[in-house]
Structure 1
Amino acid sequence: MKRGSTLFLKIVVLLMGIAILAACVIPLPLLATEVSKRAPEFTKLLYPILMTVYITVIPFFIGLYQAIKVLTFIDKKVAFSERSVHSLKWIKYCAIIISSLYVLCLPLFYFLADKTDAPGIMIIGLILTFASIVIATFAAVLQRLLQEAISIKSENDLTV
């Protein structure tokens, strides 16, 4: 892979991180204060959802860091190494944690959507859950393929 394409992917990963950080710092607190002013009856449902979002940011950033590590390994031409497998394992675990937290939070999304008569809120919860599941599955498949490629490479290195 050319250095330009990995540089582009690193920039995309960094922009994703900046966008999520900006969303957690600016609009989400404003949303919480605005909802608590206009409709205090929804505050009991909104705050646990916001806490879940803030908790899931931690594994999200860990996963982004691991993605940057994998891209760095590709740049250094050591992509087929145990370190890459380890990073993919961390990405998989982070995605599983995120999807699990949103699965636990789906009833809150449902109650909030039911009370506000806005089904889009439930769709947001489902999209966040299933996107994390897709990422976890993709990371698991890549981890397995990379592990098999490493074992084949080590067998070939031992063959005379």
Structure 2
Amino acid sequence: MVTPFFIALYQSLKLLSYIDQNKVFSELSVRALKYIKYCAITISTLIVVGIISGFILIAGKGEDITGFISLGLMLTFASMVIAVFAAVLQRLLQRVIDIKSENDLIV
């Protein structure tokens, strides 16, 4: 779970450097957002797998697992919000790039 987090962190730093270099409307930005989206989906999937495995391991012992499950669900929700936000930005940026390339062909 640490590897996708650091990949997404690296991609977000690359995206910020593209913004600083005025390369926001490029395929590099779209690619960085795509990697961030995939990493967020991977993180949420791994958290759900961890919740299920923890539920299976703790289920027969009579322990209270509501805190474990609620923390996992909150982290999953946060990761999915990031994935949806990255997907929306990716789609918007791709449309802007397409419109920009169409206008460059006309002129």
TM over 0.5: yes
Question: What corresponds to 1:65 in structure 2?
Answer: 10
Shift in Å at residue 148 of structure 1? Answer: 0.4
- Encode CA deviations 1:12-65: one digit per residue, 9 max, x unaligned: xxxxxxxxxxxxxxxxxxxxxxxxxxxxxxxxxxxxxxxxxxxx1110000000
Residue of structure 1 aligned with 2:43, choices 82, 98, 102? 98
2:84 is equivalent to residue 137 of structure 1? yes
Deviations along 1:86-106, whole A, 9 cap, x unmatched? Answer: 000100111111111111122
Number of aligned positions between the proteins:
105
Aligned residue among 59, 74, 95 for 1:148: 95
**Aligned match of 1:125 in 65, 72, 92?**
72
Bigger Rg over Cα: 1
- Which gives a bigger RCO, structure 1 or 2 (Cα 8 Å, sep 6+)? 2
Root mean square deviation of aligned Cα: 1.7
Sequence identity, in percent?
58
Find the counterpart in structure 1 of residue 63 from structure 2: 116
CA distance, structure 1, for counterparts of residue 66 and residue 5 of structure 2 = 26
**Any idea what SS the aligned residue of 2:69 has?**
helix
What does 1:15-94 correspond to in 2, within 5 Å?
56-94=1-39
The answer for unaligned runs of 5 or more in structure 1 is 1-55
CA shift at 1:115, angstroms?
4.0
Q: Is the 8 A contact 2:55 2:65 kept in 1?
A: no
1:110, distance to aligned residue in structure 2 (A): 3.2
Structure 1 position 108, deviation (Å)? 3.1
